[in-house]
């Protein structure tokens, strides 16, 4: 990647951020990470593989933020508290981590002369509209504080492009999964929790009847979309879905994982639906194809296998054994 300056990854010790940092170092970029390790892990930094400049700090700390942005040309903004349930329990924390921090980052990036910021937006902004697939120009109907916070970040990014000339692209992620996603947290993605429970012979929990569907997206596809967003000349100031463009119900997903893990005897623990969860999610990825030249390279089953192979060798499996 041809950069004259540094690429900053906020939340770079987290699941998605650490994968983006890994890809950047592989491509020869100079990489800096800022992370307060509230939801990220130092172990993820160890897996990046290249040389990075790590700042242990929060975007809410003005001194740490300005130090992080020194000589930065490109920002990948992944820092957040990535959980709908947690945002329902503690909306203030989610607001501070996502809305206040995103605004502070955009303002400082403008003042520091950053060229482009790629923002990690969320498909939760669409809410529970029955219309499928989800298209970027649909009116948002967020159902949770997390969804609202992520949506506000999109609006701020667009305003900073239109008013101040800071190049931004907002990538609406759909249910990202893969290696380094923490299965031990009750707020983690459903795939990592299913794999962890199945390989430990525990009954996975599904909130609702399991017929809700999701467009699960393997992490490598998301990283590819981010790298393309960093270099494209199209779609500046736009919102872009990043997904596989296919959906599967949680019941079908659980059946698939039982086959992959060989744990056919494990059954689901169905519990009451959670506030803020949507019923169905499916992305139209036409805009990603048009603006980014994006095409998913790893399908769901291949991604599930790769995730499970990693999990068996990870610290999470060692903790459970």
Residue 199 shares a structural domain with residue 76: no
Q: Which residues of the chain have pLDDT under 70?
A: 1, 184-188, 315-321
pLDDT in tens, 73-105: 999 999 998 888 899 999 999 999 999 999 999
pLDDT of residue 199: 87
Q: Supply the range of the domain harboring residue 182.
A: 177-214+246-281+298-320
* pTM > 0.85: yes
Q: Are residues 197 and 237 in the same domain?
A: no
> Domain containing 209 — which CATH number?
3.90.25.10
Report if residue 289 sits inside a domain.
no
How high is the pLDDT of residue 277? 81
198 vs 253: CA distance, rounded Å = 12
Residues 159 and 18 in one domain: yes
Q: Residue 321's pLDDT is what?
A: 44
Decide if 288 is inside a domain: no
CATH of the domain at 105: 3.40.50.720
User: Which residue bears the tokens 């900073």?
Assistant: 160
Kindly tell me the number of DSSP H helices and DSSP E strands found in the chain. 13, 13
* Dist CA 237 CA 118 (whole Å): 10
Task: Count up the domains in the chain and report the number.
Answer: 2
Catalytic residues: 146
């Amino acid at each position: 990647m041809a950069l004259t300056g540094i690429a900053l990854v906020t939340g770079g010790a987290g699941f998605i951020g650490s994968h983006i940092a890994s890809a950047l170092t592989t491509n020869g970029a100079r990489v800096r990470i800022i992370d307060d390790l509230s939801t990220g892990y130092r172990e993820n930094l160890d897996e990046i593989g290249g040389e990075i400049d790590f700042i242990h700090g929060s975007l809410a700390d003005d001194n740490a933020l300005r130090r992080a942005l020194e000589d930065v040309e490109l920002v990948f903004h992944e820092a957040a508290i990535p959980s709908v349930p947690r945002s329902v329990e503690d909306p203030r924390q989610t607001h501070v981590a996502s809305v206040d921090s995103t605004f502070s980052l955009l303002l400082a990036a403008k003042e520091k002369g950053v060229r482009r910021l790629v923002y990690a937006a969320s498909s939760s902004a669409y809410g529970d509209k029955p219309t499928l697939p989800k298209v970027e120009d649909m009116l948002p109907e967020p159902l949770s504080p997390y969804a609202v916070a992520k949506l506000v970040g999109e609006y701020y990014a667009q305003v900073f492009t239109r008013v101040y000339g800071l190049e931004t692209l907002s990538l609406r992620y759909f249910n990202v999964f893969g290696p380094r996603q923490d299965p031990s947290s009750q707020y983690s993605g459903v795939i990592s929790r299913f794999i962890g429970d199945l390989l430990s012979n525990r009954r996975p929990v599904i909130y609702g009847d399991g017929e809700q569907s999701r467009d699960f997206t393997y992490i490598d596809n998301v990283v590819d979309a981010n790298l393309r967003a960093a270099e494209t000349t199209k779609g500046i100031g736009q919102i872009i879905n990043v997904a596989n463009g296919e959906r599967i119900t949680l019941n079908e997903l659980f059946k698939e994982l039982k086959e992959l893990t060989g744990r056919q005897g494990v059954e689901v623990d169905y519990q009451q639906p959670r506030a803020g969860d949507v019923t169905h999610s499916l992305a139209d990825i036409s805009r990603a194809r048009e603006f980014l030249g994006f095409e998913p390279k790893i399908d769901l089953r291949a991604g599930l296998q790769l995730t499970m192979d990693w999990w068996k060798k990870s610290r999470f499996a060692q903790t459970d054994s």
